[in-house]
Amino acid sequence: MSETIYRVLSKGIEVVAPLLIRLLVPGSPEERRERLGKSAPLPGQDSEGGWIWIHAASAGEMGGAAPVVREIQQRRPGRPIVLTAMTRAGRARAGRIAHIDARFAPLDLPGALHRFFSAYRPGLLILMETEIWPNLLYEAEVHNCPAAVLNGRISRRGASRMRFARPLYRSGFGRLALCGVQKEIDRERFLSFGARPETLFVHGNTKVDAVPPGKGELPLKKNSGDRWVVFGSVRPQEEEAVGQAIRTLLDTRTDTRIALVPRHPKRAGTISIGPERSWHKWSSRRDPQNARAIEVDTIGDLIAFYRIADVAFVGGSLSHHGGHNPLEPAQFGVPVLFGPHLDNCREHADLLLDAGGAAVVTSGDDLARQIKDLLDSDSAREKRGKRAAQAVRSARGATRRAVDRLEASGLLGPGPGLKAGGGSSQ
């Protein structure tokens, strides 16, 4: 499909778009207005260079956008930012980022985009990953707004799907002023879809910089000889497998202590560890002394428990929830295990798997076996933990590298205290 045909079809769809939006988004006038581009910027926000518009499709992409927002805010304090998302989960996550205007993205329709550009008059458009929308990039060019991609990636499956609309993508990629991608393979794929070689650079994955560094006190004293296994963010559908692994470990290893952290604290008490044993509830705040099994039925303590772990299992991955962030325990040099369902954190999981700092488990039996293997060998456990920590350290800094390039290219505009010509402000 060519760009001309796409724009003609888009204009046709726009005639019935208000009706379609009303049918698809009932009961939410604000969302309908935003998706039709009927947004107005917050009053009183203006600066030299105009707004920066950052767009991320969903909550996953928003995880990479958040560090970019913070880095830009540090370098250009006061420069207004509008952050848009396609999905409701992404919009909710955007709304939790401080000092930005969060919106649903306008649909890729000429009129909706024209209204949005006219309202905000952005001086820079940043697209996260592969949000290459033909009308969006066309309107950005019409409104003299340079566009850049950060965290760019094209999977093998994505490349296969995109080839059916290669002419359309070539026009979009060709309009990009800068393309920051995660890996060399992404650079090659961007080139194949029409990105200009001089615009491309590899900066890594900004999502790694979103991993909160573990700080603060250890949750409890770790006795010499204890081997702590932490089961983090466990979802209801994987409780049976996790419970099976926990019971096996408690039955076969006297040195093993367990910390179970359900994703939702209200699930505490649902996993049985046998009639002769009971959970020590963390919310009691009583000294656990030598309690072999602690159930963390509170919010916000998972990172602290990862700090004392010898082995960590990251949940949401044996069930179809897409997994949770495996870099949180890995940063402490903890070998990580997770299930095969990792749609929400595939890049993080691949980073650890490629480095030899993690492994995939498929069942309760497999989980127990792999944990026991790691606990049986101090050298193997320490080796894998070091690789996990090194993978996190080496991957950090992607956001700084990306924004450095934006700055060097002049796309961020003059720095604080500088006029557009580069002289000091008086």
Would you identify the CATH topology of the domain 24-202? Answer: Rossmann fold (3.40.50)
How far apart (Å, rounded) are the C-alpha atoms in residues 138 and 141? 5
Query: Greater confidence, 133 or 1?
Result: 133
Output the pLDDT for position 215: 61
Output the pLDDT for position 288: 82
Give mean pLDDT, residues 48-72.
91
The structural domains of the chain, with segments of one domain joined by +, span 24-202, 227-395
How far apart (Å, rounded) are the C-alpha atoms in residues 253 and 145? 62
Output the pLDDT for position 423: 41
Strand partners, 150: 128
Q: Indicate if 227-395 has the same CATH topology as 24-202.
A: yes
Whether the pLDDT of residue 195 is over 80: the answer is: yes
Give mean pLDDT, residues 54-59.
91
256 φ, ψ (degrees, to nearest 5): -90, 135
- CA distance to 69, 86, 232, 249, 415, per residue, from 311 (Å): 33, 37, 11, 12, 45
How far apart (Å, rounded) are the C-alpha atoms in residues 155 and 171? 20
Comparing C-alpha atoms, which of 361, 326, 376, 328 is closest to residue 242? 361
Output the pLDDT for position 296: 93
Confidence of residue 422 (pLDDT cuts 50, 70, 90): very low
**Quick one: which H or E segment has residue 355?**
helix 346-355
% residues pLDDT > 70 (the chain):
94
Output the pLDDT for position 266: 85
Query: Greater confidence, 221 or 121?
Result: 121
Comparing C-alpha atoms, which of 370, 369, 364 is closest to residue 243? 364
Confidence of residue 98 (pLDDT cuts 50, 70, 90): confident
Whether the pLDDT of residue 418 is over 60: the answer is: no
61 is catalytic: yes
Helix, strand, coil percentages in the chain from 3-state DSSP, rounded to 5:
45, 15, 40
% residues pLDDT > 90 (the chain):
64
Residue of 34, 61, 131, 139 with catalytic role? 61
Token duo for residue 314: 């990251």
Would you identify the CATH topology of the domain 227-395? Answer: Rossmann fold (3.40.50)
Contact 329, 336 (CB under 8 A): yes
